[in-house]
Amino acid sequence: MVTPLEDRASDEKESAAPLRYSAAWGTAGASIAEVRAAVRALLARAGHGPGQLPSQDAQLVVSELVTNALRHAPGPGGLALEVTPDAALLRVTVSDSSPRQPEPRAPDVRRVGGHGLRLVAQLCDQVHTITRGTGKQVVAHLRLCEPAHQGLSV
């Protein structure tokens, strides 16, 4: 079960504040449907509708990372989502209780499963792992839209 720790949107007065969502789970695990719904809701508040590609990609990235944490690291874990104030970048942090680094498997079209980390790496600008005393954090940066360019292109 996911227990939301923080779920707040910046108000109109704090338009430069990022949008954030946090959740934690115990040994019973988390619901992938609930974390995907949290991604959809957060990105909708940032202006990325659920039917748009950025929201769909973000849901895939989050569900893959949370699934890996649940499958390979018994015990408690957590999810933190942060959308930058310009709504151009989503930072995903998944914490788990295992110090073991995630290892992408070699491609095998005959294998069911084992393709998630490769998909995450293809969709995200950056993915890295931080080892902690009680496990690790996998951090992924997903670009939601191209930054605005100044000037006109000819």
124 contacts 74 by C-beta, under 8 angstroms: no
Per-residue pLDDT of the chain (154 residues; tens, 9 = 90+): 444 444 444 444 445 788 999 999 887 888 999 999 999 999 999 999 999 999 999 999 999 999 999 988 878 999 999 999 999 999 999 999 999 988 877 776 776 666 689 999 999 999 999 999 889 999 999 999 865 444 444 3
The domain 2-6+19-101+116-143 is classified under which CATH number: 2.40.128.110, 2.40.50.140, 3.40.640.10, 3.30.565.10?
A: 3.30.565.10
In the block, tokens 């018994």 appear at 74
Question: How far from 114 is each of 57, 64, 103, 138, CA to CA, in Å?
Answer: 18, 10, 10, 17
Other residues' Cβ atoms within 10 Å of the Cβ of residue 73:
19
Q: Which two tokens stand for residue 15?
A: 């338009």
Of 57, 79, 51, nearest to 67 by C-alpha is 79
Q: Which helix (H) or strand (E) holds 128?
A: strand 126-132
Going from N- to C-terminal start, the domains of the chain cover 2-6+19-101+116-143
Global model pTM greater than 0.85: no
